[in-house]
Amino acid sequence: MKANTRKNFRALFYPTPRVAVGWLIFFAACYGLFFVVKFITLKSRFFVVKNVQVTGYKYMDEKEIIKLADIQAEQTMFGVDLPGITNTLLQNKYIHGISVSRVLPSTILIDVQEREPFLYLIDRSIYMMDETGVLLKKLPRMPMGKLPIVTGLSVEALQQDSSAALSAIRLVKKIQEVDERLISLISEINLARDRAPELVLIKGAARVKIGREGIYQRLFILSEFLRKQPIMEQLPDIKQIDLTFADRVVVKKKT
């Protein structure tokens, strides 16, 4: 057995000329194949970028996204810097997440995750605010009507201190937790400085005082109050609904 081991060791490290030539041909073929593959992938016209496809976007313009990506026409597929494009696109504040990939033989796929409006803010212009409090100008394609508008806050102040924006987000979430339907009845949330928040209803523009304490309970009372058909019919004539009293709902009618 030791003799066989010694023989195999000698054959491995001291091959015959015929074996050596065989190994030389094998390595030469592998070396040549490597350069052929490299040429095909990096130089061949078969693997050049002919199409840039963008998916996932709803509000941004597709041409703008492609322009930001700055992918050169007729560039080789494997020469495209995917991490570089990702980092460039993420510098756009409307983009929350991005995925860039190659789809052989000739397509670069850009999948965009945009920031979703959670509410809108009016301050000489219309701004969107996402769920994390990021504040950006509203894009034309962003729909209005289903989300409440926040008033009483200035963009300049929020850029210095975002706590009021986060308070607005928490209030909207509380409304949704109490009654998903309720948010569709509210057109405006007024958060003027040094004042308790007020809600403005879509129908009749009645102002609803909810105070600062016991918000969940007061929102529940408002939800139950607005479920009554006679109340809904009277909303155009109601000026104010005051929920800040512990034992009653005070309704003021328009004069």
The predicted-structure confidence for 126-176, as pLDDT tens digits, reads as follows 999 999 999 999 999 998 877 889 998 888 888 888 888 888 899 999 999
Asked if residue 152 and residue 101 are part of one domain, the reply reads no
Does the structure show a pLDDT above 60 at 82?
Answer: yes
Neighbours of 124 (CB within 10 A): 7
Range of 32's domain?
2-42
Asked if residue 130 and residue 70 are part of one domain, the reply reads no
Asked if residue 60 and residue 151 are part of one domain, the reply reads no
Asked if residue 74 and residue 24 are part of one domain, the reply reads no
- The CATH number of residue 224's host domain is 3.40.50.11690
The number of folded domains in the chain is: 3
Neighbours of 4 (CB within 10 A): 8
Give the pairing type, strands 238-242 and 207-209.
Answer: parallel
State whether residue 215 is helix, strand or coil: helix
For the chain, the average pLDDT equals 84
Q: Which residues contact 185 (CB under 8 A, 6 or more apart)?
A: 201, 202, 203, 226
Asked if residue 242 and residue 135 are part of one domain, the reply reads yes
Distance CA 133, CA 155 (A): 12
What's the pTM?
A: 0.73
DSSP state of 59: S
Predicted pLDDT of residue 2: 47
Asked if residue 249 and residue 143 are part of one domain, the reply reads yes
Q: Which residues contact 166 (CB under 8 A, 6 or more apart)?
A: 133
49 pLDDT band, cuts 50/70/90, is confident
